[in-house]
Amino acid sequence: MTRSELTEKILDIKREKDWSWKYICEQIGGMSEILVVGALLGQMKLVKPLARKAASLFGLSAAEQRMLNEVPYRGTAMPPTDPLLYRFYELVMVNGPAWKALIEEEFGDGIMSAIDFDVAIDREAHPKGDRVKITMSGKFLPFKYYGNEQGVPETGVREE
């Protein structure tokens, strides 16, 4: 079985049992809903205790359970073709240069981690239609200046 076949099996069981992602995440627990759903969709890994819970919930074999604990090959082709995913891509293409300029002005020369990272998705009531509120928080990782001489900073943290 391939990882994509396991994802399809999990989605088939989810549909068959009429489970919501919320219900599944409550049963597995242990970490963010986004990480649990991401793992079940093949983009993250579940640590062994959570892989056991998922395997029990979905009635998976020992081999399938181990597969949930493997580090996956992450990502999809770009640009994405799904309209919702494409909007995220569009947000970055249009707003990315401004985000980059503002982050660098505040923090210095570096990046926001996508590994040491938190994200929350919330519904926000609005009179013209509910809004999706996404809050992202990633650790700032300054670039390291290799071979720096005396007087040259070691990293790209903002200079005062």
Which residues have a catalytic role annotated? 87, 90, 113
108 token code pair = 């210095």
Cα 144 to chain centroid distance, Å, stands at: 25
100 token code pair = 């980059």
> How far apart are alpha carbons 124 and 100 in whole angstroms?
26
Beta bridge partners of 109: none
> How far apart are alpha carbons 51 and 63 in whole angstroms?
11
Residue 141 makes CB contacts below 8 A (sequence gap 6+) with 110, 111, 112, 113, 116
